[in-house]
Structure 1
């Protein structure tokens, strides 16, 4: 009985194994086969490689977006790991490797705060869940504004005249800056160095070195070039006009490197009196010698002398009381056919004794001048006005005239000749502004000048006023009221224009004469008050 049960059990086991299959049977299903995951089911980085640009101090984020589940992500720069991020079912664990507080993350992106120039380079985001690892690379370019400094730190370069100056600048920045040299707003060259061969005094100055790279504002620095040379002296005016009892200032400009010692001398090498005179110097290299009150013995020639170890130079200045060259104030086009009135003024601290006049027709030879003299004025003012009427001239002709003033201290310089043209006999039209000269007798003119001098002294008597009226009448008597449409009356060197056209048409000749006399008298007496 027992034997039959054992056989039955063994048979049943065999039958069950035959139906279910053997554990080693791989025909239908092999539970021990480890099948690989398909490619489209693995995590991947969907961000594309990019180039980023930033300036120092800015913040930046380098993206790295991952698709599907992942376990480990690494950011590195070159061969250096910055940080590692572990993902466990959505729980992130950040492990910082690079000890830099500026580094951080925004999800799976790398953030950098306060960009520095040294941060430039290639950054890689990498997944270690695949074989081989999948990654994306970004390039960060740090754009740095330019800086520039003089080569060797030399902001001042001193050389001798005739030597060669080599100026240089060192610039930094990203991209690499370009360097431009300029002076006084004038561009000289482009490049790191500037060479000035055979340096001259005029090469002295500031040379600007400017660096630019398109980032921020250009940077610049200056290098001062000092070319050592002997002094160069120039007089501000070769002749200074003054008068005894008046003030005067002589001045010269001194250019020297190194700075020169400047001294003023009288003619013959005698130093000027340092007590009575004032010597000054300003920032424009101007050295002056000031006379508060000129003495007669002060008149003469002076020398401004400058000396340094390279040499010396000097310039001469004359302190003079003679008249200045005359200035002409007449129109170039005359209003008469055969006459022309020339008006001029001159500066003289003492009365003008006489005027030397020379004139010639343009058709004559250049050396054919007609010369004569006229008396000067007795005005106490330093400004003197005078006029002279030329007669018997040729109609429609051009003339040249020269006038030279003379006082007790000498004769003034000859100014450039003055050109004028007489009216054409054919009646050619000229500008409507025509001045009719009032011919003044010497006696009446002198009386008026004496009256003005008395008025300036503050002493005007009734007799003086009568004299002024009489002198005015003398002036008027020499003027034909019928011809007056626009009058110019010269009183004490001042010209007064009076338009009387309408009145001339309404008043009788006698009334016009009286009106003109009243006008001149009023002008004369107005200077008293």
Structure 2
């Protein structure tokens, strides 16, 4: 009788209050996780038509994997529902009850304050799915025995990832081993991949790719770097992915501490008095090194006269706006950090640069050849030293000679020399150096040239002779004979 009164009240009243819902649940036994259609409530079937066909749920059980924030519909297609009632539960929690009274369906939402839930016929709709919505969803009919359909909902929570122990910067000495780790979160558990972006100065000095993949095989959320070297420096990105629309990343910077390594941009810088010049060196060091410039070994460079610079590639430069005679000499780029120190030497000089050749390797004469060259020298060239010899002769048998130098209003000087008494069809090797008041230039690559063969010259001359027709040849021969006869007659 009490159950009947509750059902009648449900047909004419507004949605249940919280207390009424609890009372209704207690009466049905749902609050304790029991089916309202269990054997303890057999009397409930007194109102059913015993001749009515038993209902059948035709929807299959499904397992849903839904991204957090998406919507889901749990189907529950029922045939022959008739006057039987239907409820939806989330685990032991009553969500919705569908009653029938006097041929009319009456819906009652049992979960207070959750506007995300609604019924679409007998299916349950849930909008804006959250992580706590995961679990089992049961559609149950008040038949005897009860018919049930269980769906499982797994909620994919977008990944998040953080550096292990909140260490976004990891420092280790060169040669040691270190483990870099990140902690991923999300559902299902995200998979982890690693990538490395090197420091800008390291890319420039080691000529490596900025965004290359790691050569060491990563192990899950941990990356072990053994025998750490300077090239391992950089930003390690840990990417977490579990199939959600977005991924998550955490960046851990690895700093491998090592003593400075110094290399010069040019071992020798050639300039002239009143010209400008720049000495430069590249310094690799962790932590960053202190760089000082010295002249002639241990004399500090005057900081008031020269400009010292450093760019993002850790290129340290010493700028001379106007070189004086006293500036020529040896300079040292010295770098120091608490791991050690290192240095490299640069020569600032006014001597000529190596000679450059402009002649064709193949000459057009049998016994002569003209060699043309130029040289960059900020001071007048005093002399040129020429060494040459036949390709078949050893170098110690080469001929050495000196020719006068040249002066120019610019730093570029051009000159030439003609070689005589050469062998036809031979190949010669030649080297030219230039000397000014500051010294002699380095020897450039040996230049090779060849003279023309004799038969080639004769062939050229023959090909240049005019070609006579037969009639012209007969006329020429007649004139020749007439000249001989006349000479004999008057002799």
How does the TM-score come out when normalised to structure 2? Answer: 0.74
The alpha-carbon distance between structure 1 residues 418 and 381, as it changes in their structure 2 partners (threshold 3 A), is same
Pairing 1:79-478 to 2, within 5 Å after superposition: 79-88=92-101, 89-97=103-111, 100-127=114-141, 129-183=142-196, 184-188=211-215, 189-191=217-219, 192-216=221-245, 218-425=247-454, 427=456
**2: distance between equivalents of 1:337 and 1:141?**
94
1:77 aligns with 90
Of 29, 47, 67, the residue aligned with 1:55 is 67
Distance 1:101 1:290, change over 3 A: same
Conserved? CA contact 1:208–1:222, under 8 Å: yes
User: If you compute each CA radius of gyration, which structure gives the higher value, 1 or 2?
Assistant: 1
Question: Matched residue of 1:384: which SS?
Answer: strand
Per the alignment, residue 13 of structure 2 pairs with none
Of structures 1 and 2, the one scoring higher in RCO (CA 8 A, sep 6+) is: 2
Q: Gaps (5+ residues) in structure 2?
A: 1-46, 197-210, 458-463, 465-491
Q: CA deviation at 1:333?
A: 3.6
**Secondary structure in 2 matching 1:53:** strand
Tell me the equivalent position of 2:485. Answer: none
1:41 to 48, 53, 58: 53
Are the counterparts in 1 of residues 289 and 336 from structure 2 also a CA contact under 8 Å?
yes
Question: What is the rounded CA distance, in whole Å, between the counterparts of 1:397 and 1:117 in structure 2?
Answer: 90
Q: Partner residue of 1:460?
A: none
- What CA distance in whole angstroms lies between the structure 1 residues aligned with 2:154 and 2:450? 80
* TM norm structure 1: 0.69
Q: Is the 8 A contact 1:347 1:384 kept in 2?
A: yes
Deviation at 1:267, TM superposition (A): 0.6
Contact 2:98 2:105 in 1 (8 A): no
Cα offsets for 1:358-388 (capped at 9, x unmatched):
2233322354433222212111210112222
CA RMSD of aligned residues (A): 2.6
Secondary structure of the residue aligned to 2:326 is helix
Aligned 8 A contact 2:273 2:324 in 1: yes
Verify the 8 A CA contact 1:126 1:134 in the aligned structure 2: yes
Is contact 1:180-1:187 (8 Å) kept? no
| Counterpart secondary structure, 1:190 | coil
Shift in Å at residue 264 of structure 1? Answer: 0.9
CA distance in 2, matches of 1:217, 1:384: 66
Change (3 A) 1:107 1:257: same
CA gap 1:220/1:359 in 2 versus in 1, 3 angstroms: farther
Quote the Cα distance in structure 2 between the aligned partners of 1:142 and 1:172: 13
Deviations 1:448-484 (A, max 9, x none): xxxxxxxxxxxxxxxxxxxxxxxxxxxxxxxxxxx9x
CA gap of 1:367–1:182, structure 2 versus 1, over 3 A, is farther
- Residue 302 (structure 1) shift: 0.9
Matched position secondary structure for 1:41: coil
SS in 2 for 1:259: coil
Contact 2:55 2:79 in 1 (8 A): yes
Query: Which string of whole-angstrom CA distances, capped at 9 and with x for unpartnered residues, describes residues 395-445 of structure 1?
Result: 4444332221111111111222223344455549xxxxxxxxxxxxxxxxx
Distance in 1 separating the partners of 2:133 and 2:454? 94
The alpha-carbon deviation at position 217 of structure 1 amounts to: 5.1
Gap regions ≥5 residues in structure 1 = 1-33, 429-482, 484-529
Structure-2 residue corresponding to 1:489: none
Q: Is residue 262–residue 304 contact of structure 1 (8 Å, CA) maintained in 2?
A: yes
Aligned residue for 1:187, secondary structure, equals: coil
Point out the more displaced range, 245-254 or 149-158. 149-158
Structure 1's 418 and 213: CA in aligned 2 closer, same or farther, altered over 3 A? farther
Q: Do 1:43 and 1:70's aligned partners in 2 also have CA atoms closer than 8 Å? A: no
Deviation by residue 1:75-97 (Cα, 9 ceiling, x = unmatched): 22333333323232223231323
Q: CA deviation at 1:313?
A: 1.0
Q: Secondary structure at 2:214's aligned position in 1?
A: strand
Q: CA deviation digits over 1:154-194, x for unaligned, max 9? A: 22111112211211122334444332223331333232211
Distance 1:170 1:94 in 2: 44
